[in-house]
Chains A and B, each alone.
Chain A
Amino acid sequence: MDAILLQVLNGLDKGGAYALIALGLTLVFGTLGVVNFAHGALFMLGAFCAVTFQKIMTLSKQVKDESITFFDAYKEVPYLEIWFGDTGAAFIDWVVPLSIFMAIPVMLAIGLIMERGLIQYFYKRPHAEQILVTFGLAIVLQEIVKSFFGANPIPTPAPDIVAGSANIGALFGLGDSVVYPYWRLIYLAFAGIVIFSVFAFLQFTTFGMVVRAGMADREMVGLLGINVQRRFTIVFGIAAVVAGLAGVMYTPILPPDYHMGMDFLVLSFVVVVVGGMGSLGGAVAAGFLLGILQSFASMNEVKAIIPGIDQIIIYLVAVIILLVRPRGLMGRRGVMED
């Protein structure tokens, strides 16, 4: 029982990341009809928003280290700490959550520029060309990031206060074996909030209503005198923000490097396909489902029965789904079923 709970939890935080990226992917596909291979790069850019913010906040000055008296030693002290003392230090400690406020406008801008600058010319082109051009874009983006930040992962720690682990087991009365890092719980909650807000936005606002109507019948909405295109462009921006936020919050779990986007992209695509192209609920459900499946498959008991299953489970599920139910778990009938 303990082990099962632990695996479910382990799966949920990874599933949260998959779900957030897949949500943006399928949103873009549902609205603009574009297969965006650069979406993983947006996730990576979000993570590097956090890195940039951290770099800016910890701009340092060399200060003489008073604790060493034998010789002249210098240490780096961030300006924020010099100017504001403990408040500044606390600010630096909380740099990852705070970088969200920087990431939202930045990612929105990147998304809008990307859509206006490139994607809009590819609505009518075949899917293969969309895949190829966004694949090229992803390479360009990640190489730019690489040239600025280098190839090595950059540690971006979570705030000290949430650095430890929560004793989930005690909460459910299962003994002490189930411990789980706080930050992953926060990530899970964060993913839930973002997903909920996207759904609420689409479901309860006029803007969202128009977007949903446009997804169902774009031409009709256009004939009613509504500028669908502008709204879809904004949806692309929102998808970029969602991917970016997923990246920002993921940095304490996995120190970001320039190719993290590619690693997640492949999996997220698989998630979208399993959930059903263009189905928002499907993407979220499949994201969590595959995350949990993956963590169960990496249990030693399971690996003992089927060696190597942890490496391939997600792809295996995708292959099976594509073959027996091509529209995906929750895809609509007739959407890309061939």
Chain B
Amino acid sequence: MSFFKLSRRDALMMLVFTAAVLTMPVWLSPIGAGYPDLVQKFAIYGLFAIGFNILFGLTGYLSFGHAAFLGVGSYTAVWSFKLMSMNVIPAVLLGTLAAGLFAVVIGFISLRRTGIYFAILTLAFAQMCYNLAYSVLTPITNGETGLRVLREDPRYLDSMLGVVQEAVPLGNFFGINMQGYSGFYFCAVMLIIGFFISVRIFRSPFGMKLVAIKSNQTRMRYTGFNTRPYVLVAFVISGMYAGMAGSLMAVTDPLAGAERMQWTASGEVVLMTILGGVGTLTGPLLGAALIKYFENIFSAFNESALLDAFSFLPEPAQHFVVAIVQPFVGEGWHLTLGALFMIIVIFLPGGLVEGISRLVRRRGKSGSDNAGG
């Protein structure tokens, strides 16, 4: 048996990936992204986007309601903290499972349609969840305040095992507190596992079938394949990824709010996947990290920081450049995001990964041309 049944190339990629993820706090610190809060976000949203990519990238079904699974995962994890234990293992497991079950139901119904109808069906379901979480389901979701872990919560499993309750309950992994770097490493391990599964799916016959469904579903049907179970499985898997990402959010910060389920949140994961590269292995993670990075860095810029950044220019030019740049940073960073997104969809539908590989190819070509000439 080769290394986890991976081809040599994939095994190498897996190793590089693992090393890169685990050392993220080190090599990201020069660009100011090495602190745990942010790298945690990279890992969590990366997981979310990798899962979304299994559906959208492989089968071509565009879901606009994935944030619902994220929300379900979060709520389940917080409830597990409240009722069972502050240990993160049951929380993540239950969150993933609950989102999976949820995805079975929604997927079973939504997958009766394709294309834009599928997008609208998933959107409708997500909006229903969001609206209900804010109104009728308040006993479960705690409405606008958000669901939080309290000291008085029963935590039956913990009390049965005689785990000492802390004053401020925080997620822990058998006693290791899930704050700061330990939280990041937990998320990173989850991300590596998730990435590994995603690689296996991409290389498996199942993954090939999903790609075939994307390229021509009708032909698949004519050759005798019942395509729906395959797409449903892909949908459920990607829902479970979203649920896991949601529960990890609750792990690092034991709080769940309904705004995680809003459709703009679903749009965000689509953005990440597209930006990085749909249907590529590493693209979604890249997109997620880029978006979260720019969200953090750009939104922190204000006028004085900008003036500092452009201080090498002569004074009038400095003010001119700052006046141009200012609407795109700080509170306006969404503008940058939207514009970037449009540019990517218009000029580079394959995302950044495709752009990079195009560049590499062109360079290789020109190099060989030179050699030939």
Contact = CB atoms under 8 A, between A and B. Distances in A.
B246 interface: no
Interface residues of A, number: 40
B45 to A, nearest CB: 18
Contacts of B132: 308, 311-312
B116 A131 contact: yes
Contacts of B359: none
Interface residues of B, number: 41
B216 to A, nearest CB: 13
A65 interface: no
Contacts of B124: 270, 315, 318-319
Nearest to B136: A308
State the majority secondary structure of interface residues on A.
Answer: helix
Given A121-B346, A140-B339, A131 B109 contact: no
A143 interface: yes
B338 A273 contact: no
Most chain A C-beta atoms within 10 Å of own C-beta, residue among B127, B137, B332: B127
B365 interface: no
A190 to B, nearest CB: 28
State the majority secondary structure of interface residues on B.
Answer: helix
Interface stretch (B169-177, B263-271, B292-300, B305-313): B263-271
B117 interface: yes
A307 B136 contact: yes
B8 interface: no
Most chain A C-beta atoms within 10 Å of own C-beta, residue among B60, B114, B327: B327
B144 to A, nearest CB: 14
A139 interface: yes
B334 interface: yes
Given A139-B338, A140-B335, A323-B109, A336 B135 contact: no
A143 B264 CA distance: 14
A169 B334 CA distance: 48
B325 interface: no
A322 interface: yes
Contact of A137 (B137, B331, B342): B342
Contacts of B134: 311
B162 to A, nearest CB: 40
B121 interface: yes
A23 B62 CA distance: 24
B229 interface: no
B364 interface: no
A323 B116 contact: no
Contacts of B332: 143, 146-147
A274 to B, nearest CB: 10
B119 interface: yes
Contacts of B341: 132, 135-136, 139
Most chain B C-beta atoms within 10 Å of own C-beta, residue among A118, A147, A270: A147
Nearest to B137: A308
Contacts of B131: 308, 311-312, 315
B230 interface: no
A228 B369 CA distance: 46
A133 B128 contact: no
Contacts of A308: 131-132, 135-137
Given A147-B332, A336-B116, 12 more contacts: A35-B116, A140-B335, A140-B339, A144-B327, A147-B331, A266-B123, A269-B120, A308-B131, A312-B127, A322-B120, A323-B112, A338-B115
